[in-house]
Structure 1
Amino acid sequence: MFIELKCKSNFSFLRGATEAPEYILRAAELGMSSIGITDVNGVYGLPRAYECILKKAPHVKLICGAEITVKDHPPLTLIAQTRKAYGLLCRIITKVHADKEKGEGFLTLAELSDFMENFEGANNLVCLPEVEKTTNLTFLKELFGKNIYLPLCRYLDGLDRARTDFTVGLSAKHAIEIIATNDVHYHDLSRRPLQDALTCIREGVTIDTAGLHLFGNEERYLKSDLQMRALFTDLPRAIELTQEIADQCVFNLSELKYTYPHEFIPPGHSAKSYLYELVFRGASVTYKGLIPPKVDAQIRRELEFFAKRGDEHYFLTVQDIVQFAKDSNILCQGRGSAANSIVCYVLGITSVDPIEMNLLFDRFMNDGREEPPDIDVDFEHDRREEVIQYIYNRFGRERAAMVAAVRTYRSRSAFLELSKALGIEVGTISASELEIKFDELAKEKKSRRYLIDGLTETLKGFPRHLSIHSGGFVLSNDPLVEMVPIEPARMEGRTIIQWDKDDLETLGLMKVDILSIGFLTALHKATDLAGISWRDIPANDKPTYQMISRAETHGTFQIESRAQINMLVQTRPQNYYDLVVEVALVRPSPSKGGMVQPYLKGLQEARAGRPFKIGNAALESILGRTYGVPIFQEQIMQISMDIAGFNAAQADQLRRSLARSRSADSVDVMGKKLYNALVSQNVPEKFADDLFNYIQGYAHYGFPESHAASYASLAYKSAYMKCHHPSELLIGLINSQPMGFYPIDTLINEAKRNGVIVLPIDPNISVWDATLEAPKTIRMGFCNVRHAREAEVQEMIAQREQRRFISVEDFIHRTSFSKDVLQNLSLLDSFKEFGFDRRHSFWKSIEFKSLCQQKDSAQLSLFDEHTRFSEPAALFNKMSLLEEIRTDYNLTGYSLHGNFMKALRVELPHLPPLTSVQIKRLPRDRRIRYAGILTVIQRPPPAKGTAFITLEDEFGCIDTVFKSETFEKYEEIIRRSRFLIMEGKIQKRGLGTSVLVDYVETFSHKTERREVSPQGSPRGGRLDWS
């Protein structure tokens, strides 16, 4: 039986036109018992092939190998016969990529020899060298012994006889047997056009000019035993050898047994005893020495469950990482379903008490889930790298690496690349423009559109390249490098494995997610300034909830978006659980499931003294907090266990099946069993029907209850800080950029309206960051000044500590700022205290040019040698208010010298006079015309294309709502200009006011204005406002 040992999949990146699972399925169709996947310098596609075997082709054996690029030598295909040989192969591939540019990996023959001599598994590594005149068979025969074979291909290209004679001669000379192969690049003849297109993309040529870059014919597809025997009638042994080699390949990916890191266990302890000690020590601290019986019982239940599975090392690993962060004063907080675990809570991994919250542990882990635990931990975004490098240092590069993320072709990128490959002159236009202008650009080649469209559908989902997962880490006690190759990421100091998170799940490998939230950084800085601990922020603060209910949540976590603000004025959260549901409501799952309006109705009923009642105590207990609507999947799990008698594994399986459903018809047998159980317990059929209509939304993205609780905790803390320490929170936000939903100027204006004083940059006071100068008084720092660098600011501070700056000349002489920064500081009025306004400060500094040039570095001169000035500073008029504001925005992103809209109204008296404050006082359905500055565009998935846009004026913000068709009609105007006039009708929801917009224009298109150059030129002209 012929077995194909050399197949390149699409994970050879533009060298293979077939996905690995397609090879498996085609091999099964052809009756092959085995098939080899040998991608270039990687094992990227093996887990996907393995998963396909498990699910669809259990009788096909996967042979694991790779084609290795060798420096100054033809490539070698290496195939692993055993587990140790596979580990050696992974080490070799890791070396191929080590210290190389992406896509340029290689190995030397000397390095290969070192691996073969120094690592186990060499005796079971098969070598199939590409047969060329430069192939060093003498060296390879000595290295691989009996495990080297000469691959021979017959492509029916007119060169088969010469190819055969050459290979047979080498076989006789070196006593190496020949094997048959077709060097497969695609599973079926139909993929030949895609293979050619991929070659053109890789080589940067078109199909019309590709020439010899392309294969001569379509023969490199997966052929049957009968076809290959017909091609090799003269060499039957070459066919039989493929089966013999396949039979010797006994390695299976199921042998990759994961081992947790073991270094956390002190002498005298086992993993079980040490975890037990840490957990109860943490519980004693958490509950102040009095562990409640319910907590104690749940702790013991969870510890027993983890011990049964052998997961203690996993929790010790995560606890070690979290403890490092705490010891390093880095804020962190677990999220996701891990917050359902009391063990995670008392270990300090998560911040939500699952007992108090009545969270369901079985959503996190249960007997039906064979995969390892999966814990996500968020760290401060500007200090996460410290945690990442700690992990690398703690475990070593051979035992720790980040998970890959596979970036794939999408419709537009595939269409664009394929159009180029097929000879369409696209220039620099975008894919969306190409689709519109295709016929115009294609000219006589427009008939190729049909072929391009078909190839695009096939190319969608093919891998383009690997990047780094958002935070997934794989850690192992045994060398990770012998389980999967590790290669450098593009980011310095990072290494990644060749598999993504789904591959890890397929193979049952552990992953820890080291994630980040910018708001943790901001909150840490804010609480430090306020002199409080973020974990000690008091719960249930009434003024905080009152502020949240008024939707005054700009600059908070999670509840600051326009969609959330729109929801807040309807839900008006009054306690922590209200906030938990609020966080979860603005997600695709509740919206698609039609849960939002029933929840709001139930909320109003409950607050009117009419709580949820259905005549079933168990159901009322589970759904009472969400007023009869199953906002969270955990609620359905609990219902199925308490009412239908499911065990935890069955309940979790039901949850997963519902999460994949797209209609009520697709609910499986367990779903129907639950439905029947509800009806049998006298639950009204209409309610049971409604329940299943709601949970169809689970097929879309939504938060687990524990995840929503974790985020709600952070949302509350951020709101508390805004309510009681607004200046400290604003400083935290400013000093943690880039992050958050709103630009800095919006946050500053909001704070100023609430009594916070914000002072400008002062060269004798300011430092790099914004600082708290007095209660509710902020001094801005240099961090937002365009082109400013922290090192230069630190040098300035060192000079200032010796003595204050007394003049512009003194400042220039004693600092190392570049000419761009000096120019920007002048235009920002930073030298006001030295007696100069912006323009005079700017031009006055020119008089000190010679002083600047006396410095060590010529580039510190404010202008180059060719700069000429014909007008003395005294002739320049002072900037207008509008010019000052615009300059501030250009150079820092904010202005403290006045409000942009207020200044614009003076310059442009024709603007609609209606303000945000006046709009909020007008009745529902009143038609209005309003001018403002765009601050935020949001188009969340749950809203069926609805867009939310915030406009700001001198008094505050107004929310606008666009139906899908309206937004698409005016999207180009909205995207290109921040200065907009909108018309529409006022909407009222609870305490909230918004405008349903039906018309948009930009007032930049309608008005003549004076030009303001970056240097503040006094000349008149037109101003570009867009």
Structure 2
Amino acid sequence: MLLNAHTYYSLRYGTLPPPALTERAAQLGYTAMALTDINNTSCSYEFVRCCEKAGIKPVLGLEFRKEGRCLYIGLARNREGLRELNQFLSEASIEGRPLPEVAPPMQHAYIIYPRLVKPIQVFREEEFLGVRPEHVARLFGHELLQYKNKLVALSPVFFADNEGFELHRLLRAIDENTLLSKLTPRQTVKASERLMPPEQLRAFYKTQPYLIENAERLLQSCEANLRPGLHLNRQTFTGSKAGDFKLLEKLALNGCERRYAHLGTDTPAYRSTLERVRRELKVIEQQDFCAYFLITWDIVRYAASAGYHHVGRGSGANSIVAYCLRITDVDPMELGLYFERFINPHRTSPPDFDIDFSWDERDDVTDYIFKRYGRDYTALLATYSTFKGRSIVRELGKVYGLPKAEIDKIVAAPFEPEEHHELAGKIVHYGRKLEGFPNHLSIHAGGIVISEEPIYYQTALQLMPKGFPITHFDMYHGEDLGFHKFDVLSQRGLGHIKDAVDLIKQNREQAVDIHDIPRLKSDERVKAQLRSGDCMGCFYIESPAMRGLLKKLQCDNYVHLVAASSIIRPGVAKSGMMKEYIRRFHNPNGFEYLHPVFEEQLGETFGVMVYQEDVMKIVHHFAGLGLDESDVLRRIMSGKKSKGDTFERLQRKYFGNCRARGHPEDLAKEVWRQVESFSGYSFCKAHSASFAVESFQSLYLKAYFPLEFIVAVINNFGGFYRSEYYFHEARRCGGRVHAPCVNHSQYLTTLDGEDIYIGFVHLHQMEQQVAHRIVHQRAQGGAFRGLSDFLNRVEIGKEQVDLLIRIGAFRFTGQTKQELMWERVALFQPPGQERHTMSLFPQEYEEAETTARQFLSGGKAGAPEPYADAIDELELLGFPLCPPFDLLDRQFFTDTISQSARLGELEGRIVRVLGYYVCKKDVRTSKGKLMAFGCWIGQDGHFFDTVHFPPTLKRSPFRGKGVYKIEGRVVLEFGFPSLEVVRMSFLGWGNAVVE
């Protein structure tokens, strides 16, 4: 009889998780129930599973709401009815039109109206009027009694009890952005819309029992069949599975011949490679993944035809078929990667390829997928943004009306109630209940599903701001249903590479083949660049920690870079294995392998397990488990698959095989312990190998074309550091960095020979439209001759002109900023007034003189003239264009080391250095105390690193951006110097003080 039940996926309305709803209903004795979340189908499949577990018949539907009003409820009679409802809701969202007040005809779904929106005489066969418990008395003597067959009991369910109602009210107040005390009854549902016992519900309808009977009849006539399966994705690429295999086989074999031509087709190495290709093809066919490979190949092929660069990464790089199809550039034969890590018969979850494109090209690739495979069959995956942590406290604090200061106290010290407002207890209580509730739908990082049948059979869609629709389910619900996703991702590192290649062609008239990976990996200049740690701007290897690791390892080849990219990750580093790896790297004969299998299989990483694949190697070669079983064990240990009978079976098999192979019990237990403890934080080798390929491409460009590369990094606004430090790096590489100029700058930063002109985009408060007008007018009429010519040709407001004057964009005129300000006042004419109106000029002249004086000093009366430009640059760009040390009084240089690049020669000595702050990383010691690692630019332009232990950090804290005087002891770790700080003082910007 429950035709209108809601879970917490009725976003900011419902309060019951799906399991709680079904379990409670079963306890009360309900045998059937309809899920009708508000404009949402997120948990349809989860609800069906929960109902089956609870012994309840599930019915699926939707409640259609507009502006807080329930328009009607739809119940799917069968799969076609679910499609009808989902498609109706989706088309309204995709087309941007409001839901109609009256539902359209439905052939396979029932429509229930909560109020009489049209005469009941014209209700269609599938339409009914819902009667709430409180409205039953109104039926006495009403003409509606002539149409009893069109009336049904309608008792909405949003919560289970009074506390649930209060939680509902809090959600509504958050949604309406209002105080709880100002929430109106129209903004919430009624307190009676709860899950009440069946007998209580029947009592409400005892005078009109047919209402209950009609509702039960509707429920019994509906069937919820989502038809989950192993694959719901598009089943074929060519139109038949046989055709798919033939095409995939041809592409793979032809690709193998091209990729491995250097081996010679008559060699044992080539025959072994070809055998692996055929073995993979057989598994791919058996597992029914031919279409998945071909669709991925099609996506990559389109991108290549459009001139887009991509990186195929993730576990898919374990596949030699993927390498032969050029989906990835990682050679699994070179790195000893196992295909079973990607696909094997025992893997229940679907595999996926991660395909990275440049951030500004991904949307076009996505658009191709939608157009190629059809909008009714294609969608992005959703992800759920949930209520969590401090944000809940802030949201609840606002709706309870607490001042910000009181909310901040609760957030800062949640376990000190004596310091809190009296309402803090309620906030914490309801906050715990709200934890994990879905808040709104968002877009998965890049997951796309392509369905065999219209996707509306499984979900409704919601249009997102970029113009692509998303499913209502996330990747986990999608996996449960049987979808395997295509990950089409974006990263700015690829934009760096693409734009650098274009700049090289433009600036040097040279074409660069960035896809010749074997040549890049063997280039001596690139190796030297990697070994030096001079990797700023290079994808994945530019952070201070990574650059330090590369120098400690003296890493200069692809294999070791793959390892370095893995051991620096938090899990490996925290376990102490990173230090052990470095120690063994420098002293390969100074340790003993645990067993010859470790030396044979992990010799590349000196017996240290670095990758997820290492778990597979050890349990396969040491204990004889199959590779597919080894991958299953790895997934269980890493928490990606729940423990159960499979884990216990594999554990028994491991120890049984060890005994059969004669391994001592103690050795078998130790290997098991290492495998079990390691697998929780291991990293996929294929993933790291994909990153390393991109790193080598970046390194090549940095080594041979540093200015073009750094400008490309700047223009993609991506990287570990802020733009300022890339401008510093460009200067260090020989570039001449100039402030924005109306005669040279574009919207983005430009490179002309060795001259780098900062783009208008970096000028704070500069309007994008004005910047484009400047560039357009210069292209149309040539260079500007002066301020007067500029104002005559460019439509611009005086505030924008002031920005340009202050940053020096008219310095080509030879005039001072003060002179330009006077000229601006004289020439600039507000709209609707005559130029050079004498009556206006005198009264503006004094203003102009005052303004000019302010501009000379960056708006600060009395600032010394040599620092005025730096102050303007700090305010308008965020950093000075001169070295920051030039702004200091000479007294600060006393007793300091000016050459930070020579710190390594001063091991053990206490030194003082001046450092310009770049970044810091806070960490906790084993005792929970705060310490930090700092990164700085020295007076010579070189980077150096500092270590701040808890006592020093507390005594000499970081105080933001600027110059610091640092005193500390120089320590060397594997040849890499850092400064253990004793004391540190903040100098800021010296004489150019900015408040």
TM-score (norm 2): 0.87
Match of 2:563 among 561, 564, 581: 581
**Residue aligning to 1:991:** 975
Match of 1:539 among 518, 521, 543: 521
Match of 2:697 among 705, 717, 726: 717
Q: Is the 8 A contact 1:426 1:441 kept in 2?
A: no
**Residue aligning to 1:282:** 255
Relative distance call for 1:31 and 1:668 in structure 2 (3 A) is: farther
The more displaced of 790-799 and 873-882 is 873-882
Match of 2:848 among 869, 872, 894: 869
Percentage of pairs with the same residue: 23
Q: Secondary structure at the match of 2:892?
A: coil
Q: Any stretches of 5+ residues in structure 2 without a counterpart?
A: 505-509, 858-863
Relative distance call for 1:876 and 1:324 in structure 2 (3 A) is: closer
Relative distance call for 1:457 and 1:77 in structure 2 (3 A) is: same
Q: Is the 8 A contact 1:282 1:346 kept in 2?
A: yes
Structure 1 residue 638 corresponds to structure 2 residue 636 = no
Relative distance call for 1:317 and 1:876 in structure 2 (3 A) is: closer
* Cα displacement string for residues 190-210 of structure 1 (whole angstroms, at most 9, x for unaligned residues): 534323322333344444454
* Cα displacement string for residues 357-410 of structure 1 (whole angstroms, at most 9, x for unaligned residues): 211111111112244331111001122222222223333432222211211111
Relative distance call for 1:874 and 1:150 in structure 2 (3 A) is: closer
Equivalent runs, 1:212-361 vs 2, <5 Å:
212=185, 219-229=192-202, 232-234=205-207, 237-239=210-212, 241-255=214-228, 259-261=232-234, 265=238, 270-288=243-261, 292-361=270-339
Relative distance call for 1:702 and 1:729 in structure 2 (3 A) is: farther
Looking at structure 2, the residues matched to 72 and 211 of structure 1 have their Cα atoms a distance apart, in angstroms, of: 12
TM-score (norm 1): 0.84
Relative distance call for 1:963 and 1:408 in structure 2 (3 A) is: farther
Q: Is the 8 A contact 1:792 1:817 kept in 2?
A: no
Q: How far is the alpha carbon of 1:924 from its aligned partner?
A: 4.8
The more displaced of 727-736 and 797-806 is 797-806
Letter of the structure 2 residue corresponding to residue 993 of structure 1: P
Q: Is the 8 A contact 2:912 2:967 kept in 1?
A: yes
Q: Is the 8 A contact 1:828 1:838 kept in 2?
A: no
Equivalent runs, 1:434-833 vs 2, <5 Å:
446=422, 448-489=423-464, 491-528=465-502, 529=504, 531-536=511-516, 538-606=520-588, 609=589, 613-617=593-597, 619-660=598-639, 668=648, 670-671=650-651, 673-674=653-654, 677-678=657-658, 681=661, 691-695=671-675, 702-736=682-716, 738-759=717-738, 761=740, 763-774=742-753, 778-786=756-764, 787=766, 789=768, 792-793=771-772, 796=775, 799=778, 803-816=782-795, 818-833=797-812
Relative distance call for 1:735 and 1:687 in structure 2 (3 A) is: farther
Relative distance call for 1:317 and 1:151 in structure 2 (3 A) is: farther
Relative distance call for 1:245 and 1:542 in structure 2 (3 A) is: same
Q: Secondary structure at the match of 1:40?
A: coil
Q: Is the 8 A contact 1:9 1:39 kept in 2?
A: yes
The more displaced of 926-935 and 531-540 is 926-935
The more displaced of 950-959 and 227-236 is 227-236
Q: Is the 8 A contact 2:885 2:963 kept in 1?
A: no
Letter of the structure 2 residue corresponding to residue 383 of structure 1: E
Q: Secondary structure at the match of 2:357?
A: strand
**Residue aligning to 1:1015:** none
Q: How far is the alpha carbon of 1:45 from its aligned partner?
A: 2.3
Relative distance call for 1:135 and 1:876 in structure 2 (3 A) is: closer
Looking at structure 1, the residues matched to 301 and 458 of structure 2 have their Cα atoms a distance apart, in angstroms, of: 28
Structure 1 residue 108 corresponds to structure 2 residue 108 = no
Q: Is the 8 A contact 2:82 2:457 kept in 1?
A: yes
| Count of residues paired in the alignment | 968
* Cα displacement string for residues 480-525 of structure 1 (whole angstroms, at most 9, x for unaligned residues): 2343111121x24232221111221121113211111101111112
**Residue aligning to 1:1018:** none
Relative distance call for 1:165 and 1:587 in structure 2 (3 A) is: same
Q: Any stretches of 5+ residues in structure 1 without a counterpart?
A: 117-121, 154-159, 1011-1022
Structure 1 residue 405 corresponds to structure 2 residue 383 = yes
Looking at structure 1, the residues matched to 475 and 611 of structure 2 have their Cα atoms a distance apart, in angstroms, of: 24
Letter of the structure 2 residue corresponding to residue 558 of structure 1: Y
* Cα displacement string for residues 296-347 of structure 1 (whole angstroms, at most 9, x for unaligned residues): 2222222222222332222222222211111111111111111111121121
Q: Is the 8 A contact 2:962 2:988 kept in 1?
A: no
Q: Secondary structure at the match of 2:227?
A: helix
Match of 2:76 among 74, 80, 96: 80
Letter of the structure 1 residue corresponding to residue 218 of structure 2: I
Looking at structure 2, the residues matched to 661 and 274 of structure 1 have their Cα atoms a distance apart, in angstroms, of: 33
Looking at structure 2, the residues matched to 550 and 900 of structure 1 have their Cα atoms a distance apart, in angstroms, of: 26
Equivalent runs, 1:91-130 vs 2, <5 Å:
91-100=87-96, 106-109=98-101, 112-113=103-104, 116=105, 122-130=106-114
Letter of the structure 2 residue corresponding to residue 621 of structure 1: E
Q: Secondary structure at the match of 1:909?
A: helix
Looking at structure 1, the residues matched to 842 and 278 of structure 2 have their Cα atoms a distance apart, in angstroms, of: 72
**Residue aligning to 2:868:** 883
Q: How far is the alpha carbon of 1:431 from its aligned partner?
A: 7.7
Looking at structure 2, the residues matched to 673 and 588 of structure 1 have their Cα atoms a distance apart, in angstroms, of: 32
Relative distance call for 1:997 and 1:190 in structure 2 (3 A) is: farther
Looking at structure 2, the residues matched to 636 and 665 of structure 1 have their Cα atoms a distance apart, in angstroms, of: 19
Equivalent runs, 1:826-865 vs 2, <5 Å:
826-849=805-828
Q: How far is the alpha carbon of 1:891 from its aligned partner?
A: 2.8
Looking at structure 1, the residues matched to 748 and 365 of structure 2 have their Cα atoms a distance apart, in angstroms, of: 23
Looking at structure 2, the residues matched to 205 and 511 of structure 1 have their Cα atoms a distance apart, in angstroms, of: 39
The more displaced of 20-29 and 921-930 is 921-930
Letter of the structure 1 residue corresponding to residue 635 of structure 2: R
Q: Is the 8 A contact 1:402 1:494 kept in 2?
A: yes
Relative distance call for 1:137 and 1:678 in structure 2 (3 A) is: farther
**Residue aligning to 1:934:** 917
Looking at structure 1, the residues matched to 111 and 141 of structure 2 have their Cα atoms a distance apart, in angstroms, of: 17
Q: Secondary structure at the match of 1:813?
A: helix
Structure 1 residue 394 corresponds to structure 2 residue 369 = no
Match of 1:365 among 337, 343, 352: 343
Q: How far is the alpha carbon of 1:91 from its aligned partner?
A: 1.0
**Residue aligning to 2:65:** 69
Q: Is the 8 A contact 1:194 1:455 kept in 2?
A: yes
Looking at structure 2, the residues matched to 959 and 930 of structure 1 have their Cα atoms a distance apart, in angstroms, of: 11
Looking at structure 2, the residues matched to 862 and 394 of structure 1 have their Cα atoms a distance apart, in angstroms, of: 64
Looking at structure 2, the residues matched to 946 and 846 of structure 1 have their Cα atoms a distance apart, in angstroms, of: 53
Relative distance call for 1:242 and 1:826 in structure 2 (3 A) is: same
Match of 1:193 among 145, 151, 166: 166
Q: How far is the alpha carbon of 1:631 from its aligned partner?
A: 1.3
Looking at structure 1, the residues matched to 490 and 583 of structure 2 have their Cα atoms a distance apart, in angstroms, of: 36
Looking at structure 1, the residues matched to 662 and 952 of structure 2 have their Cα atoms a distance apart, in angstroms, of: 47
Structure 1 residue 1024 corresponds to structure 2 residue 985 = no
Looking at structure 2, the residues matched to 679 and 140 of structure 1 have their Cα atoms a distance apart, in angstroms, of: 79
Q: Is the 8 A contact 1:768 1:790 kept in 2?
A: no
The more displaced of 428-437 and 177-186 is 428-437
Letter of the structure 2 residue corresponding to residue 415 of structure 1: V
* Cα displacement string for residues 812-859 of structure 1 (whole angstroms, at most 9, x for unaligned residues): 433445544443333333333322244444444444335999999x9x
Q: Is the 8 A contact 1:11 1:44 kept in 2?
A: yes
Letter of the structure 1 residue corresponding to residue 147 of structure 2: H
Looking at structure 2, the residues matched to 462 and 755 of structure 1 have their Cα atoms a distance apart, in angstroms, of: 54
Looking at structure 1, the residues matched to 178 and 755 of structure 2 have their Cα atoms a distance apart, in angstroms, of: 61
Looking at structure 2, the residues matched to 742 and 692 of structure 1 have their Cα atoms a distance apart, in angstroms, of: 41
Structure 1 residue 4 corresponds to structure 2 residue 38 = no
Looking at structure 2, the residues matched to 763 and 451 of structure 1 have their Cα atoms a distance apart, in angstroms, of: 58
Q: How far is the alpha carbon of 1:762 from its aligned partner?
A: 5.1
**Residue aligning to 2:937:** 952
